A = this chain, B = another copy of it.
Amino acid sequence: MPTPSMEDYIEIIYNLIDTKGYARVSDIAETLEVHPSSVTKMVQKLDKDEYLLYEKYRGFMLTEKGKKVGERLVFRHELLEDFLEIIGVEKENIYNDVEGIEHHLSWNSIDRLGDLVKYFKEDQQRLDDLKEIQLRKKK
């Protein structure tokens, strides 16, 4: 099982490769706001645990295992962002909150949250009713 921090790295690497075609130490360091040396160290660990193949100074690619995990992590992240956005959490809180909780929810909870997102997307009236409750106490 990957630790929360390992999950962060896998997720970001997956996203970078998906959008740019490759991932470099410095990209990751910038995104995660950590030092390059920390990235190198984690990459070496992820290689040891076979989430990616690493050749020093030359880069790395996700293994099948890494891709599979990465895909799920990205799905989970996006679902949680969707959810918080739908229930009306302010934009500036969403990223940090998702970042904080994504590693700590069982897949059972993730599934139920998925249902909930579907519930609200399926019928606008439901969201309107929720918004109405939110407006009440603002007075």
The binding surface of chain A is classed by DSSP as helix
| Residues in B neighbouring A133, C-beta threshold 8 A | 115, 118-119, 122
Are B105 and A97 in contact, CB atoms less than 8 angstroms apart?
Answer: yes
- Interface residue A126 (Cβ < 8 Å from any Cβ of B): yes
Chain B residues with CB under 8 Å of A106's CB are 89, 93, 96-97
Proximity string of chain A (115-130) to chain B, C-beta cutoff 8 Å, 1 when within and 0 when not: 1101100100010011
Q: Are B97 and A100 neighbours in the complex by a CB distance under 8 Å? A: no
* A132 to B: closest C-beta gap in Å: 9
Task: Write the chain B residue with the least CB distance to A108.
Answer: B93
- CB <8 Å contact, A84 and B112: yes
Chain A interface size, under 10 / 10 to 19 / 20 to 34 / 35 or more: 20 to 34
* Interface residue A34 (Cβ < 8 Å from any Cβ of B): no
- Which residues from B are CB-within-8-Å of A112? 84, 87-89, 134
A109 with B130: in contact, given A87-B115, A116-B87 (CB under 8 Å)? no
Does A53 make an interface contact (CB < 8 A)? no
A90 at the interface (CB under 8 A from B): yes
Residue from B90, B119, B134 in contact with A115 in the complex, judged by beta carbons closer than 8 Å: B134
User: What is the bound-complex CA distance between A89 and B116, given in angstroms?
Assistant: 12
> Which B residues touch A89, using CB under 8 A?
106, 108-109, 112
